[in-house]
Structure 1
């Protein structure tokens, strides 16, 4: 049968329940969020004279939990308006409403008796065929659905979201013992296509896949840290971005998640996995027990492995826990010779060989750490998964690892990994030995533009399923490369569409990238039918190469700087006015020049998690790559009869002047950066390039016509300029902005007003670009702008001077 999910009921409104409700609202579903009825009145309710029977009181728990969730940062919802898709209620008055929903998700406390009681209630009102899933992370399914009807059991599974549901991509699907295969197929597919997740099929084993491996890794570190005499700062340095893991690394992550959460899962594994060869590793070290007794649980209690305090001069200071004395001390900067050797290696996957060869304590740490990890994951097959790639997918999607354990093992070399294990007294699994003896020297291979993995039962490499909807640049780069330089690679995506992929540091837009973009348009116009500008880095682009701008400005090489800005502007206009459709595929941070590039594409196909904005004010300039011009043009296109045109223009002015950045692609519509009816949002970033290619193809097939340069941009002249100058004066007088902020804002005002024209006029884009470039150049001569750029280059943070 064909299923559609229009309405979802979420039972339990705690942190996870509210987060899951918000994420379903993100994708357009109607959500019913239910929780228990309060047993007593709150002080506020008493003051208002309400009774326990009042609807506001009866729904209070679900309503307050949802409000708290929506106000939290980072937000669980893509846009505040989406919260209107969620209705709150309670399990006594509203349980019958679940008869109208397509999917019921249970997210109540991790107690079997409570879950069984909830399921008993649900079964009274649930219509046959409705999906019913639990978000449990530890209770076996056969206990939960015991005594339930055949239809309930046939549609019952675990769908384990990771917290926070909006941001972490792992979606573990665990079939119930009698669950229909088509139900599991649907859940796996829905997770990928609609929820934007990495769906991982798991078995009904303790902690499933992600937490089983993740908690093993953390517990292993807890035991290694004292053995190797490492500090918490050193471990976090060794287990963070250098190996493709989140900045919070290990101990800071535990502080954020909560030590009690980790201890709960570790204790569960210790109790429920008596035959696990690493059973004793799940026993908590003494220092963890002491921290639990002291309630040093992390961020939620104000201290954990780290503690934020105010020093005598009033400045905030971070202290780190000494695991020997269990006292807090100022944190020390961690340095290792081995890490210095990896500074010139851009990709974490290419660093592992160097790291395990280190001659210092870091090298020893990596050898021990990876040896124990490899030994553990090899032995979990087929216990927790039949396929090795599912373990890698779970760790990447659930814990933010750039590479999974088997990918890391491949990078080090399978034989080398076995050597590391043997040095620690650990043996390779029989299937690994057999794999090597059969002539397979790696767990993964890439051929025909697809990823293949070693299938253990078949004893050969087979194609990883589910790649049809994806374009994976790592897989096609070598075979489909059309042109490259130091900043970009241009690949043939097939079907007449090219892709221009940035490869500069943080995907900044310097001379090599600008040259690459021009080359991509040349090639596409000559031999192809469309161009996508997209990459699969952590961020689309953090903007222009400000180090290059800084050097030219410091050396007062203004002619060269003028040429560089003109080249950037010309390239943006080239993309806008080429003879082929150009699609921008932004994701992650898309700032400054990265935003300007997207503004000039024929269409934006944005990942839902796109943080886009014109942030040039932070480095003391205005957008100089067409961004100021484009926002003026968009304001002009928005003017309607009887509008107060100044108010419309002011909104676009403030978007730049306040350096507004959307916290999701959906918010970018409010800023005028994405345009309704034209640009689209993709929830699953893995599908973004395929979707962008599809839209390029649609535009090409519709008979794309080269646009004509605009000469009809309405600017308001002195009328707008006067308003803006009065506004910046009052902001300066009220000490909301500095003198230099006012100078930058006034320069922007001059551009967006179209200069000091005596009356509203129609001007060309070229006219506005000239004003924009002149303003940008003049600001680059200011000492305070150079101070801002220098501060950003040194610290990565804006300076207010």
Structure 2
């Protein structure tokens, strides 16, 4: 049976339900969002003379919830216009409409009796064969099956989205006793391909996979903090980015999620997993009980483990909770000698050997924490999952861990980690010992560009399923490398397509990266058919190496700076005018120079979660790698007969001048940073390199011809320049911008107007590039630009001076 999901119904419009509805709208699906009727009128409705029978009142709950979701930050929706794909209604008037949908998702309150009541109503209208799933985070699926028809049970299972649904990738699929394999296979594939998720089939056990391991990890730290006499700042320092976890680490994450939410799941595990060998760990420590009593639940109650305060003088401060006194105090700086040893190790996975060998409290923390985690996850197979990779995938996709527990275990060394575990009083599950005795010394191996994983049943390494549509650069880097320098690795993706992967810190663009791009183009033009520029780091690129710019400016090495800027411009122009097709694959932060690379590719294959923009104003300059020129060119290409051309140009000018950053790839179309009909968006970032390769190959095989350099860019000269100068003068006089902001804006205006030409004129790209470079150089002589550069280097955020 070929299933197609054209329309879904989401039952329940709370934070989770609205978030799920928005994400289906993100991918182009029509959504029916339903909720209960209000029980009484509110003040506004009473004042308007409305009754409970009015449609406005009957749909108030669902409309208010959806409106609140759409206003929330970060936004649950890729583009504001996508909200029009969602239709709202209520369970009394509109439930019959579910007869027309392909998938019904229940997201009501976590009470079995309420869920069963909703399913009973749904079954009256649901047509045979329609998918029906529940977003429960812990109620056994088998209990919800009771009393339902055979067809309902066959098409029913759990589909647990993690909140926020747009951003967290884990999609747990929990089969019921009678769920058909066809339904499970479809949902697994649909989650990956269309929803952009990491699909994991879990077992019907309390908290499933992600929350079972995630809550264990947090509860383990809750108990360890007292045992080791650690502060919450110290635990957050040790359990954050240094080990590839989110910046919010442990206690800040709990504040964001809500302590009550965590307690609810932990209590569920404690009550329903009496045979768990670490059962007592899920019993709440005394300090958690006190916080719950005091309603110190985190962000939702304005205080939890951390609390924001404002002094009478207006000074803001974040206080920390002292777990011994349960009083708030000023934050204390946390530092450990062991962490200092990892500062030169860029790859997170390579840090674990150093961390567990530490001689200080940090080393002791990691040995205790990881030993407990390794023992626990090994004992959860086959209870919660049949395969170890399912646990790793769940923790990475649901909790933002860069590496899963078994990957970390591999990094330390399986046998060495077992020695560490035994020293801490833990034993791995028997199957781990069997694995070693069978001659397998690691959980994962890589062969022919594919990841293989230890299979417990066969006691051998088997290919991890679901990789055929992915290209995993980590797996092919060593075997397929055709060039490497300190900034890039160029890999052969097969079928005549190369990939240029950045390897610099935060993927910033300096001389080594530019050299690597040019070398990749050379190689592709000589022996290959096309080039992709893409990587699988946290971000595509944070922009040009401003440290280099700052040093050249301070030393007044202007000739060298001129050469460096021209080299950047020449590189972006080579991307556009090489004899082979070039595809740039941005994702995450794609700022400044990273954006300029994307602007000059033949095609952009952007991940939906791409935050792209020309942000150079923040460091006191204008885009100097072709970005200012390109925005003038793109404005020129939109000029149409009868247009007010100044208005068109102004839109592009403001995109740069206000350092606008798209909060999704779809918003980038509005800003002119992506082009409709040429560039495309993929929802699943894991597929991005493969899709980019496919498009590079298609362009090459379709008879790609080297483009001719543009000499037909229409610039408006004094007409536009005068308008811009009047505008910046007015904004500065009104204190909307500083004097230095005005100076930068005027330089950009000069470039995008094409200088002070007396009338509209057609010019070459090189003419605009020369203006751009001259403006960039002149700004680098300004003291206030140097202050902005230095501030960004030291503080990591822009200075407005």
Q: In the aligned structure 2, how far is the partner of 1:591 from the partner of 1:425?
A: 48
SS in 1 for 2:344: coil
User: In the alignment, which residue of structure 2 is the partner of 1:640?
Assistant: 640
State the Cα distance separating 1:61 from its structure 2 match.
0.6
Q: What is aligned with 1:191? A: 191
Q: Work out the CA distance in 2 between the residues paired with 1:79 and 1:637.
A: 24
Please give the alpha-carbon distance, in whole angstroms, between the structure 1 residues aligned to 2:39 and 2:439.
Answer: 66
* In structure 2, C-alpha distance between the alignment counterparts of 1:469 and 1:91, rounded to whole Å: 40
Q: Is structure 2 residue 42 aligned with structure 1 residue 34?
A: no
Q: Deviations 1:376-426 (Å, cap 9, x if unpaired)?
A: 000000000010000000000000000000000000111111112111221
2:32 counterpart SS class:
strand
Please list the CA deviations of residues 675-717 of structure 1 after superposition, one character each: whole Å capped at 9, or x if unmatched. 0011000000000000000000110111000000000000000
Report Cα offsets for 1:27-52 as digits up to 9, x if no partner.
Answer: 00000000000010111111111111
* SS of 1:431 mapped into structure 2: helix
Residue 334 of structure 1 aligns to a residue whose secondary structure is coil
Take 2:224 and 2:701, find their aligned partners in 1: how far apart are those partners?
A: 60
Structure 1 residues 498-577: aligned runs within 5 Å: 498-577=498-577
5 Å-filtered alignment, 1:378-457, equals 378-457=378-457
Which residue of the partner structure matches residue 780 of structure 1?
780
Partner of 1:248: 248
Q: Does residue 690 in structure 1 map to residue 690 in structure 2?
A: yes
For residues 660 and 263 of structure 1, the distance between their equivalents in structure 2, rounded to whole angstroms, comes to 40
The answer for the alignment partner of 2:603 in structure 1 is 603
Alpha-carbon distance in 2 for matches of 1:431, 1:51: 65
- Report the equivalent of 1:83: 83
For structure 1, which segment, 388-397 or 424-433, has the greater mean C-alpha deviation from structure 2 after superposition?
424-433
Pairs within 5 Å for 1:126-275: 126-275=126-275
CA distance in 2, matches of 1:739, 1:509: 29
SS of the equivalent of 2:662 reads: coil
Tell me what 1:798 maps to: 798
CA distance in 2 between counterparts of 1:633 and 1:21 reads 38
Q: Give the Å deviation of 1:444.
A: 0.4
Alpha-carbon distance between aligned partners in 2 of 1:434 and 1:105, rounded to the nearest angstrom? 42
SS in 1 for 2:477: helix
- How far off is 1:311 after superposition? 2.6
Aligned-partner Cα distance in 1 for 2:275–2:91: 40
The Cα of 1:312 is off from its aligned counterpart by: 4.2
How far off is 1:313 after superposition?
3.0
Which whole-Å CA distance do the structure 2 matches of 1:595 and 1:657 have between them? 15
Say whether residues 1:707 and 2:707 are aligned partners. yes
Measure the CA separation in 1 of the matches of 2:539 and 2:192: 21
Question: In the alignment, which residue of structure 2 is the partner of 1:19?
Answer: 19
Partner of 1:311: 311
1:264 is paired with a residue whose SS is helix
The 3-state SS of whatever aligns with 1:604 is: strand
CA distance in structure 2 between the partners assigned to 1:168 and 1:631 by the alignment: 33
Q: In 1, Cα distance between the equivalents of 2:428 and 2:271?
A: 26
Distance 1:672 1:83 in 2: 21
Residue 466 (structure 1) aligns with: 466
Q: How does 1:664-683 map to 2 (within 5 A)?
A: 664-683=664-683
5+ unaligned residues in a row in structure 1: which ranges? none
Residue aligned with 1:351, SS: helix
Match of residue 482 from structure 1? 482
Q: C-alpha separation between the residues in 2 aligned to 1:49 and 1:580? A: 68
Aligned residues: 801
Q: What is the CA–CA distance in structure 2 between the aligned matches of 1:365 and 1:640, rounded to whole Å?
A: 65
TM-fit CA distance, 1:788: 0.3
Please name the residue that 2:359 is paired with: 359
Establish whether residue 755 from structure 1 lines up as the match of residue 755 from structure 2.
yes
Separation of aligned partners in 2, 1:341 and 1:474: 24
With the length of structure 2 as denominator, give the TM-score of the two structures: 1.00
**C-alpha distance in 2 between matches for 1:272 and 1:61:** 33
Q: State the secondary structure of the residue aligned to 1:533.
A: strand
